[in-house]
Structure 1
């Protein structure tokens, strides 16, 4: 067979919008389908015509559910893609949350543009709608860990844990004598909640995430003491600690750290609030996914606190009137939008 070809359709020149087109003979496989995020020059690329006809893509392989890897899926479906989307079960559950949130945001942004009259288009349209999201969800197909999946009769694909977020994976694809490994986003070797990152099978070509390749993480004990000290000082003066946290994985790891610090008596026993429906929906998935967590992790490792969950907007707005010391965990993680503002 002729050698497969690999085309970078995203995450090139920027770290978002991950999309890799793997062409094997006449078969087209797409690995990840993320939206471009960040500066306007990158966000505008989401509106550009897709380089190939989405209807010509035979299948999609998903490394994980973060928006920069998954939230372009409904746009592909809107324009004709109808094949299977392979992902781990946990990734599918999280992707459902991410895509529905994204579809709602797309519609809201379009409505705001129409009402405000600031769009340069006479009839602005959403990149995709919630209806496109609902058309996407039935296309997902769950895969087992470390199990070869026959993809369109032209390749075998295998998912190995990458410990980035729940369900995240590196994907090894083998087509005849050729092989390629997509690392996906890689987590730490010692994630506090998730099962350990695995070493996937080697390949002829490796596409490896390098976003934080020049960074060194501080040891968790040191980082957590800085956090604990900030909490103690703020609570001592009657203040409230607001923690911007990504809705998926970061909220859970922050809760886990708070539980550990509270058990050790390093922070006072004050109310802890998780503010945001998306964060809480993801937390529900983590609580249910015992097989994906370390054996010693229990529900109490997320909830062993004076915990309040604000799932409705009215509950969130009540927080604005409270003046008692507390810790509020809210998204977005970059404090660029969402309830944290």
Structure 2
């Protein structure tokens, strides 16, 4: 059996792991690379094997870094099934459509304003190509064994993280392979605690926060302070939010703060069409999260939900203090950039970073103290206050990742650390070795192993 790491190794984006067994090829996740240009350019490269020779895709969840390359895979000849849960299918469809629209809009803008070195600038894929993915989805139920090829079965189990997210256990050639996907937190605001694996011969574990512990601070209190401080200055709060689950978590906390009279009565704006669409998915999949139907309705009623870009323009031009929740979470694209263009150079603006920021993203640059950022070919001086609330991450920290292994009844033959930058992955490797004695190493991009 051969396993090739063709994405999500040494980085937190572009997740793709290829398994070859007895003539069957399985791709676990099919994500988009984001952040550093050297990684983004990989999105334009074909896979190391022909897409038409891949039998199926197993999709852990619907975030862009796990599903965003599917339109390219289909376009290059993939004909198999894409197995995932019902909520993941719904989320992935929203994410892919949003990704395609953003890419088309940015290509059109680059051509109008002539800031791309490509003539003409082209999107990685179009809305039509994104729509071509949808018929390939095959919805499965959690904790049920699914036959995906001759004598190969897969079991999906809840991973927390976002709605529909799962870890995947593959049984083939008498071996058990476990792919963690992205692991959520035991104490998440909205998601249930992730299920732990009990058996694994080989385990492929994410390591996003492999070198960090989430701070023991109350994110609700931090939100309260940052919002009140900014509104008292008659400023604007901008929260770049991941449209799936982080946006809903922040909405929930803001709703609680407002009910408790702890934050002021100013406009609270949700400006992410995809985030609004995810609210519907929450309503339709109540067993996947902690919110009741009534909670969803009441929470949403607090926010002005923006759909058309003309509304965005009017909000930007309105000088009154306000709180804006807009995608994308790493500020790599989406409506949040329009707010940045206007507000990032104002001292009374506060930008609250609430999730992981990959290398090369605008969010990472802001956290690292950049004096200016580039948006659509133009540079903007950063005078806004940049703050971070680490307690709102959707990923397990080092302690959570190590604890996720605690129910294993056997010592795995090997653990490969994926979906993490090099230092976090290496520190997690040391921690796992010290606590359990398991053989463990960080996967290398482009490397292939035989088991």
TM-score, normalised to structure 2, is 0.70
**Which residue of structure 1 aligns with residue 378 of structure 2?**
none
Bigger relative contact order (CA 8 A; separation at least 6): 2
CA deviations over 1:232-290 (Å, ceiling 9, x no partner)? 22223333322221111111010111122223332223321101212211222223221
Q: Provide closer, same or farther for how the CA distance between residues 133 and 295 of structure 1 changes in structure 2, counting only shifts above 3 A.
A: closer
Structure 1 residue 108, shift from structure 2 partner: 3.4
- Where does residue 321 of structure 2 map in the other structure? 325
Decide which of 23, 45, 54 is 2:42's aligned counterpart: 45
Map of 1:301-340 to 2, 5 A cutoff? 303=299, 306-340=302-336
For residues 33 and 330 of structure 1, the distance between their equivalents in structure 2, rounded to whole angstroms, comes to: 25
CA contact (8 A) 2:269 2:304 kept: yes
For the pair 1:92 / 2:89, whether they are aligned, the reply is yes
Q: Among 59, 77, 81, which residue is 1:80 paired with?
A: 77
Query: Any idea what the Cα deviations from partners look like across 1:183-226, whole Å, max 9, x if unmatched?
Result: 00111111111222111342100000001111111235x22212
Per the alignment, residue 33 of structure 2 pairs with 36
Describe the shift of the 1:118–1:154 C-alpha distance in structure 2 as closer, same or farther (beyond 3 A).
farther
The reply to whether residue 133 of structure 1 matches residue 112 of structure 2 is: no
CA distance in 1 between partners of 2:230 and 2:120 (Å)? 49
Tell me, yes or no, if structure 1 residue 185 matches structure 2 residue 182. yes
What is the TM-score with the length of structure 1 in the denominator? 0.92
* Alpha-carbon distance change, 59 to 336 in structure 1, aligned in 2, over 3 angstroms: closer
TM superposition shift of 1:46:
1.1
Secondary structure (helix, strand or coil) at the match of 1:172 reads strand
Contact 2:85 2:164 in 1 (8 A): yes
Q: Secondary structure at the match of 1:9?
A: strand
| Partner-residue secondary structure (3-state), 2:243 | coil
Q: Call closer, same or farther: CA 1:27–1:280 in 2, change over 3 Å.
A: same
Matches within 5 A, 1:289-300: 289-294=285-290, 298-300=294-296
Q: Distance in 1 between matches of 2:111 and 2:220?
A: 46
User: Which residue pairs with 2:67 in the alignment?
Assistant: 70
Q: Per-residue displacement from partner, 1:311-334 (whole Å, max 9, x unpaired)?
A: 111211111232333221112222
Q: Match of 1:174, SS?
A: strand
Question: Does 2:158 align with 1:161?
Answer: yes
Provide the residue aligned with 2:191 in structure 1. 194
**Which deviations, in whole Å up to 9, do the C-alpha atoms of 1:124-144 show, x marking residues without a partner?**
654322222121110001110
Q: Cα 1:264–1:115, aligned 2, differ >3 Å: closer, same or farther?
A: closer
Q: 1:286 aligns with which of 282, 288, 291?
A: 282
Deviates more, 1:321-330 or 1:63-72: 321-330
Q: Give ranges in structure 1 of 5+ residues lacking alignment.
A: none
| CA shift in 2, pair 1:309/1:124, >3 Å | closer
How many Å separate the matches in 1 of 2:300 and 2:273?
20
SS in structure 1 at match of 2:11: coil
Alpha carbons 2:240, 2:327 under 8 Å: kept: yes
Report the number of matched residues: 337
| Corresponding residue SS for 1:314 | helix
RMSD value over aligned CA atoms?
A: 2.1
Q: For 1:37 and 1:265, how far apart are their aligned partners in 2?
A: 39
Query: SS where residue 208 of structure 1 aligns?
Result: strand
Q: For residue 255 of structure 1, what is the aligned residue in structure 2?
A: 251
Deviation at 1:89, TM superposition (A): 0.4
Do the aligned partners of 2:283 and 2:293 also contact (CA within 8 Å) in 1? no
Q: Equivalent residue for 2:237?
A: 241
| Equivalent in 214, 229, 233 of residue 211 of structure 2 | 214
Contact 1:59–1:85 (8 Å) recurs in 2: yes
Q: Whole-Å Cα distance in 2 between the matches of residues 210 and 32 of structure 1?
A: 16
Cα distance in 2, alignment partners of residues 256 and 292 from structure 1 = 16
Range moving further from structure 2, 168-177 or 83-92: 168-177
- CA, structure 1 residues 262+177, in 2 after alignment: closer, same or farther (shift >3 Å)? same
